[in-house]
Structures are given as C-alpha cells and as structure tokens.
Structure 1
Amino acid sequence: MELPKGLAGVVVDQTKVSSTKNAVLTYAGYPIKELKDAPFEEVVFLLWHTRLPSADELSEFRKRLVSEMVLPEKTVQLITRITYEPQHPMSILRTTVSLLGTTNDVKRDDPPRILAKLLTAIAAIIRIRDGQPIKHAQKGWGVVENFIYLFSGQRPTPERVAMFNTVMVLHADHEFNASTFTARVVASTQADYYSCLTAAVCALKGPLHGGANERVFKMLETIRDTGQDPVQYVKDQMASGHKIMGFGHRIYKNGDPRAVILREVARKIAHETDNDSYFVLQEQIKDYMFKATHLHPNVDYYTALIYHCFDLDKQTFTMMFAACRTAGWLAHIVEQQAEGCLIRPSSEYVGETNRHYPSR
C-alpha cells in the first residue's frame, strides 16, 4: 500500500470528538463558529461527553473544575526547583506533567481533576519564571477567569475573559493533529493519563506543531525593533529559504476558520493595549503572503499577538496552547482507551537487503 508522507489525508481511525471534514471544524458535530462564544467549561463537557450539558450539569461541572484548581504542596516544591533559566518553558512543562502523575494526593486522577491541575501548573510555571508568588483559584469565578488570574496575578475584566475564552475554545481540539495522535498512540497501550499527556506535550514542543506561535511573534518583534519594511523582510526570508511561520495549513487550503475569528480578537485587544503597531504589521504581512503565495494565516498567526497582549512572554505561548488543548487530548485519550485497540502500524523497509554477518 502506498501512503503519502506524513499520512496526509489518510483516515487512521474513527472519532466522535471533532472533525475537519470539508475544511469545516466541528466539535461533536457543532460548528466552531457557533461555539466560539460558548463558555469554555461547556465546550470541555461537549468534547468529553459528545453532548451539551444541561444548566445544572454545567454549573456543577464548572464548580468541580474550579475546586480542583489547586496543586499538592509537593508538586509546587518540585516545579519551583525545575523552573529556572535557560530551560525553555515547554521543557519545564514536559517534566511537570510527569511530576503531576507522581505527586498525586489521591489514588487515581480523573479528567476534570487533571485538566484543572494542568491549568494551575502552567500558570504556576509562568509566575515562578516571573519571580512572582503563586496565586490561588477563587470560588465563584469561572475556569477562564481563574486561569487568567493565576498566570497574571490580576482579576481580568469580563471583556478580557470573553476574549481569552474564545482563544481557549478555538484551541481545545483539532481532530488527529500530531500531539493528539501521539496521545492516542500511547493511550492505545492502556497507559495512564499522565503518560499520554506527557507524550502529547513532547509532540507539541516541536516548532512545526505548537512552537509556531512563538516564532510568529519573534518575527514581529524583529521587524518592529529593527524598523525593517515588513514586506521586504518577508521577501528576504523566503529568498533565503526560510519558512514564514503562521501561514498555511495541511487541511485548510482556503483559510483556517479559527484564524478568521482570532483576527478580530487580535485587532480588538491590540487596540486596547496599545499594540496596534503589531497588528498593522500582521496585516501587511498577511496581504503580501496571500499575494505572493496564496497562503492564508493559520491559528498560530493571530494567537501570538493575543498572548502578547496578555503580557505573556513569547516563550510561554506554546504552554498556553497546551493549556487549551489538554481538554481535547483528554477526550481522545478516553475515547482511544475505550476502543481497546493497540495502534501498531507497519512500515515499508527501503534499506539494504541480503546482507550477512561475517563469520569469525
């Protein structure tokens, strides 16, 4: 059987979690454009149960998640010890996810507790890197409001909560992307949740998957700080054989639907935080890239600016991606383990044959 490189377009299994069929992103059958303003907790429930919760279920689910946004003291001590320069935050997160599975204060964690703990751990890493004290979740607030508070130290406005909620919803899942497929491969062995999530984080760490948002903002910083013409900068980079991060997508040939939504969020928050110059640069680059290559921005392009406007260090951008995507990872892990089938593909050997070890 001849297969395309990278399994592009190959259907390897079935799922009820999400779909990108016909370049339309849906979660359990609901178009993402209709879910963009839905509460993050509601979307997580949908991904995990493939149905929307009732009002009472949503209220209880939110309370449960917020109540679990706390880390065992042992975990905090270990995260503090490993969080130091010059380690990249994703390296710290990779170790932290594994630590969460070995510093439990209960016999076995379930998805709600794992998601809550991971969000809290990511916020803690950010606070420790910034030399700031770790904050504690507030009862009565939602998950997104608490998450922003935990990593920023300040209670966000309702408008900021709504914007970040949209970001988290749009990043919550995306079918069988590299990190999700990695999680499912590990889950197919019936490994524990933390082993599956650690593997997913390792896959996300690569710049061709989750690391693109960091490189997008690095490009914007370089252009603005050096005063270069953005179009000429892009031309020079492409002439040198460098990839312009934040453009193109294997599935969305006519534009990433998430980027369309995030563009408006980026424009709004850039204006509110005096970062209009960055948005202007993005628009100039976007227009040129389409003219020169017919490539559209993907989800990483505008997310980079949004994260910057939330005063996040660009090195933590991919951790933010992980914070959002954990909801989807957990949905796929549960689904794969219930399937009970070991993922073990075959390969085509193309090396030398008919070789024999010399006799001694």
Structure 2
Amino acid sequence: MDHPKGLAGIVVDETHISSTKNERLTYAGYSVEEMAKAHASFEEVVYLLWKTHLPNREELEDFRKDLVSKMVLPAETIRLLLYIAREPQHPMSILRTTTSLLGTTNDVDHDEPPKILAKMLTAIAAIIRIRDDKPFLEVDPDLGVADNFLYMMTGKKPDSELSQMFNTVMILHADHEFNASTFTARVVASTFSDYYSCLTAAVCALKGPLHGGANERVFEMLMDIVQGDQDPIDFVKDQMAQGRKIMGFGHRIYKHGDPRACILKGIAEKLAEETGNIDLYNIQQTLADYMLEKTGLHPNVDYYTALIYHCLGLEKETFTLVFAACRTSGWLAHVMEQRREKTLIRPNSEYVGPTDRSYIDDTCIKEVL
C-alpha cells in the first residue's frame, strides 16, 4: 500500500470551507489571522463557514439575533441534563449522550444548523454549570453568541476586552479542514443521516485522546510542575528520558508553528496577568523556548488554550467541551457541504492477511463435515 498510515498528507476530497495549504489557515479564502486581528465576531465567521461569503451588516445582525434567540433548551432536555450531567463520567461522555439526546427531544426532521448550533452551545454551558453545582442560566438577548456562551458557562458577562478575546478563541477553533472529528462527521453525513447523528459521531471522535483532550493534559503538566515544585526544564528532561510525549507541542500540518497558537499566546498572557496566573504563563514560555531549541517543535493550538480556559475559571475536565462548542460550527459546515455532494464515502482497503486457506482442512469440527 502506497498511502501512509492515517492518510497523512492524502487529499481525499475538495472543500470550500477551510484550508491549511502552505501552513496558513484560511476560512473560505480569508486568513484566520487577519480576521482575529480585525476582531471579527464569532457569528460573522460562522456565517462565512456556512455560506462561504461574508454577511453585510443587516445579514449579520439578523443572523446574530436568530442564533441568540435559539439558545434555549426544551424543558425535557433540561430535566434530563440535571440528571445525566452529574454522573461520575468525563464531561465528554456526558456531551456524547447529550448530543444524541438533543436529537430525540427536538423535532429532528425540522432542525436546521442555526438551531442545532445554538442548542449545542447552551447544552455545553449547562453541563459545565450543573457539574459545578451552579444554577442554569438563561440566554441574555442583549449579548452576542460568544458572549452568551461565556456568560452561561461562568455566570459573568464579559466586558468589551474579554468579549473580543473570547470571540477570537472561538474563531480560531471553529474549523480546521478534514481533522479526525470533522471527517467522521462527513462520513456519517454521506449516508444522509440526520445532523444530530453526525454531531454525535464527531463528539465521539473528539473524545479520543489522540484528537481532543490535549488541552487538559497540558494543564495537568503545568499542575505537576507547580505542585511538585519542579524546575520546568528538569521536568521536561525527565519526561523525555522516560519516552513520554510533552503535550501541546507539534502538529501534523504546521511544521513551522501553528498560526493559531501565536494569537492565543497573546490572549493567554493578557488573561494570566489579569487573573494572577502569570507564573503559569512564565512556565509555559520556559517550556516553549526549551522545546523549540531541543526538539524543533512549536506550541500548537492546545498549548495556550489550557491556560486561557483556566483563567476563565473553568475546570480542567471541561476544556474539551469548550473545544467542541467552538468546533460545532465547523462540523455543521462540513455536514452541509457533504450532504450537497450526495456521495457516499466508502473507501476500499488492501487485505494483507493470509490467503488460499481451506476451511475443510483447518476446522476442528471434522465430525460434522
């Protein structure tokens, strides 16, 4: 077989949604770095991902109002969430079940992406609040989508500066072409299954430790260093000597640095200063400098989001939930695109096992033959 394992570097289809060509992330042809620096809103980027063109002012305002108005969960969903969200399972397991639940407590046949995205954001915020024994918060119609999501998670309405930063965080995580969870969603979409089934499959893929969850392990590493009163470089040397991976570094596509990480670094530093976590940021910088010097690996998108989410007051176990909330917009964009193609994804495999075997000769049940 000529193709590399994991299909690394193999182009399997076309897309109009996003690209990482030349290690530059773009959404429908627009540089994500440019949009982040220009303080684009999350709603504007979602509109772009879904329609592949930017909205005018009226379209953007209508889209924002529509999404916010739909950030309401059915009463039966809330009732069931109050039960399952407290189960002693990882929050991503709770989200997997919740996503499937949304597909049974809503009118699945008539739910469209705006309603589905809005409910996913609200459900994720609700899971975080319930697990923290805090009351479920209703949407504020005066806030945008990202601001409402942050408010419904933390109970605090962001000021303009925090609003810009969190919108940027959500934009940077919104899509990343054919990553594992997105491709999983596309495979399911190619069967013409419903949106909730596609999202449930994507959540299952994101739950895997080789895809999602890296931000949680980055924070675990920081806590090991701090709580063990260890020198950061000595810690890394010891981990590498034991053959352990240093979380938050390297990327299959970005060999010269993840463009998202460069932007997130500045946000992490700002929030760390404001929340008394600058020591954690300094540790991260020490590790980043050492890793680049010794291994040539750059921080990836997970490295700084770990500290950002901590500074926002979120528990480590919920970090991947926030990732899923941001990425849902991209998942839906790809599901819509795949549905339009009306082509079942069904690749072939190359069989490499034994051949020309005789069941008659090899079976142990000779007496029945």
Match for residue 40 of structure 1?
42
- What does residue 228 of structure 2 align with? 226
Deviations 1:67-118 (A, max 9, x none): 0000001001111111124200000000000000000157521000000000
Separation in 1 of the partners of 2:140 and 2:85? 25
Aligned with 1:325 (options 310, 315, 327): 327
Unpaired stretches in structure 1, ≥5 consecutive residues: none
Structure 1 distance, partners of 2:124, 2:230, is: 35
User: In structure 1, which of residues 278, 284, 293 is the aligned counterpart of residue 295 of structure 2?
Assistant: 293
Q: Which amino acid aligns with 2:190?
A: S
Amino acid at match of 1:138: D
Could you report, residue by residue, the CA deviation over 1:33-74 in whole angstroms, capped at 9, with x for unpaired residues?
111120000000000000000100000000000000000010
Measured against aligned partners, the alpha-carbon deviations of 1:247-278 in whole angstroms (never above 9, x if no partner) come to 00000000000000000000000000000010
Deviation beyond 2 Å, 4+ runs, structure 1: none
Aligned residues of 1:98 and 1:195 also touching (Cα < 8 A): yes
SS of equivalent to 1:233? helix
Partner of 1:141: 143
Quote the offset at 1:319 in angstroms.
Answer: 0.5
CA deviation map 1:290-321 (0-9, x unaligned): 11100000000000000000000010000000
Partners of 2:336 and 2:66 lie apart in 1 by 19
TM-score (norm 2): 0.96
- Contact 2:128–2:153 under 8 Å retained in 1: yes
Q: What residue number does 2:10 align with?
A: 10
Name the structure 2 match of 1:338.
Answer: 340
Root-mean-square deviation (CA, aligned residues, Å) is: 1.0
Query: What residue in structure 1 maps to residue 254 of structure 2?
Result: 252
Q: Give 2:216's aligned residue.
A: 214
Does the aligned pair in 2 maintain the 1:186–1:195 contact within 8 Å? yes
| 2:142 aligned partner, one-letter code | G
Instruction: Give the whole-Å Cα distance in 1 for the aligned partners of 2:353 and 2:216.
Output: 37
Contact 2:23 2:254 in 1 (8 A): yes
* Residue aligned with 1:101, SS: helix
1:355 to 2:346 alignment:
no
Partner of 2:157: 155
In structure 1, the residue matched to 2:273 is 271
Residues 308, 314 of structure 1: 8 Å contact kept: yes
Letter in 1 for 2:75: E
Q: Give the conservation status (yes or no) of the 8 Å contact 2:81–2:127.
A: yes
Residue range with higher mean Cα deviation, 98-107 or 268-277: 98-107
**In the alignment, what sits opposite 1:126?**
128
What residue ranges of structure 2 are gaps of 5+ in the alignment? none
Contact 2:20/2:26, CA 8 A, preserved across alignment? yes
Q: Report deviation, 1:213.
A: 0.4
3-state SS of 1:176 partner: coil
Separation (CA, whole Å) in 2 of partners of 1:128 and 1:219: 26
Q: Secondary structure at the match of 2:273?
A: helix
Partner letter of residue 5 of structure 1? Answer: K
Q: Which residue among 26, 45, 58 is the counterpart of 1:56?
A: 58
What's the CA shift for 1:238?
A: 1.0
Identity fraction in percent: 66
What secondary structure, in the 3-state scheme, does the structure 2 residue paired with 1:131 have? Answer: coil
The whole-number CA distance in structure 1 between the counterparts of 2:8 and 2:186 is: 17
CA contact (8 A) 2:232 2:286 kept: yes
1:189, 1:49 → 2: CA distance? 22
- 1:140 is displaced (CA, Å) by 1.9
Distance (whole Å) between structure 2 residues aligned to residue 84 and residue 127 of structure 1: 10
Q: Distance in 1 between matches of 2:42 and 2:95?
A: 22
Task: Give the structure 2 partner of residue 193 of structure 1.
Answer: 195
Q: CA deviation at 1:129?
A: 0.2
Task: Kindly indicate whether the alpha-carbon contact (under 8 Å) linking 2:77 and 2:102 is maintained by their aligned counterparts in 1.
Answer: yes
Query: Residues 72 and 105 of structure 1 are in contact (CA less than 8 Å); yes or no, is this contact kept in structure 2?
Result: no
Matching residue of 1:93: 95
Report the Cα distance in structure 1 between the residues aligned to 2:77 and 2:358, rounded to whole angstroms.
53
C-alpha separation in 1, matches of 2:44 and 2:199: 22
* Mean Cα deviation higher: 122-131 or 151-160: 151-160
- What CA distance in whole angstroms lies between the structure 2 residues aligned with 1:134 and 1:120? 10
For residue 110 of structure 2, what is the aligned residue in structure 1?
108
Quote the residue 2:241 is aligned against. 239
Supply the distance in 2 between the matched residues of 1:46 and 1:57 (Cα, whole angstroms).
11
1:158 maps to a residue whose letter is S
Query: Structure 1: which amino acid aligns with 2:325?
Result: A
Distance 1:331 1:64, change over 3 A: same
Secondary structure of 2:338 counterpart: helix
Residue number in structure 2 paired with 1:22: 22
Q: Tell me if structure 1 keeps the 8 A contact 2:108–2:194.
A: no
> How high is the TM-score relative to the length of structure 1?
0.98
What are the Cα deviations for residues 184-216 of structure 1, in whole angstroms up to 9, with x where unaligned? 000000000000000000000112111100000
**Greater Rg, structure 1 or structure 2?**
2
